[in-house]
A and B are shown apart, each in its own frame.
Chain A
Amino acid sequence: MSIQKGPTTSGSPATATSVVERLRARIGVDGPPISARVEAGHVKRFVEAVGDPNPRWSKEAPPTFLVALAPVSLHLAEAEEYGKGWLNGGNRFEYLAPVLIGDRITATGRVADVYEKSGSTGNLLFIIFETDYVNQRGELVARLRGTAIRR
């Protein structure tokens, strides 16, 4: 049986390094802004899925609803060359003004940082995303920071 030497497989140091480098080149570059209206029906489906019957959510969006309004991370095809799957490491929300039903929110996301760490089961790639949410009056209503991990 002959074994052919194929190209370097994903996860090898050479490939991993270039993925990290390519992703790092995107740090600080805003993704396309995405606008969406905070619709009563969408908020209702969201709080039903969470199981949060607070009547307050008939007028206002609950704390984590903004993640349902626009994707929380930019799609980075090159990141998927690294490891097998995604994990969510954490999220941080900062709230500056209420988000009400009927508001039109524009979300602008960017990559804030990219780095590699060695874990107990191999190397991990950390991608930090930031999203700013602005309402129809141009007010910054919230900021989100998320840690996406490729493992």
Chain B
Amino acid sequence: MNVKVGQELPELVKHPTTRQLVQYAGAQGDFYEIHYDQAYARSVALPDVILHGLLKAAFLGQLITDWLGESGTLRTFEVSYRGIDMPGHPYRCRGRVTRVDGEQVDLEVWGEDDAGKQTTSGSATVQLGS
């Protein structure tokens, strides 16, 4: 795998729906009402139900493992949730290579809302080779 600093990962655009949030709530076992109960979400001053932070992390994980394929292993993966995202709006996952040190590659990854605002930022370290 030929990896260079500055190289962008092929972007991944997700189209989350309320149905997906319910599906994810069940699969993760996180039944906090802000992710599927609109009246509850509004009662805690949110504009609508919002995506689970960890669902956005899973999307960014998918971005990395899709790019990596069988060429390496994920070592560290870190995400900060800086803004909320709501179903019905595309969520764009992007990333780029920030450092290459032999077989160790550092990535910057982030998620953008439909206005291009970075609502999730993160980083990852991968080890190339198997």
Chain A residues in contact with chain B, CB under 8 A?
42, 45-46, 48-52, 54, 56, 62-64, 67-68, 71-72, 84-95, 98
Contacts and interface: CB of A to CB of B under 8 A. Distances in A.
Given A51-B20, A52-B62, A63-B61, A87 B81 contact: yes
Given A63-B61, A68-B28, A93-B77, 12 more contacts: A45-B26, A52-B61, A52-B65, A54-B65, A63-B74, A84-B44, A85-B46, A88-B54, A88-B81, A92-B76, A95-B73, A95-B75
B90 interface: no
Nearest to B33: A85
Given A64-B61, A72-B54, A88-B52, A45 B27 contact: yes
B4 to A, nearest CB: 23
A88 B81 CA distance: 7
Contacts of A54: 62, 65-66
Interface in B18-57: 20, 23-24, 26-30, 32, 34, 44-46, 52-55, 57
Interface residues of B, number: 36
B64 A63 contact: yes
Judged by DSSP, the binding face of A is: mixed
Nearest to B77: A93
A89 B80 CA distance: 6
A92 B27 contact: no
A90 B79 contact: yes
A64 B78 contact: no
Interface of B: 14, 20, 23-24, 26-30, 32, 34, 44-46, 52-55, 57-59, 61-62, 64-66, 70, 73-81
Nearest 3 pairs of A and B residues by beta carbon: A88-B53, A63-B61, A85-B44
Given A56-B65, A85-B44, A86-B32, A50 B79 contact: no
8 contacts: A48-B27, A63-B77, A68-B27, A68-B29, A84-B44, A85-B44, A88-B54, A93-B78
A38 B75 CA distance: 20
A139 to B, nearest CB: 15
Nearest to B19: A49
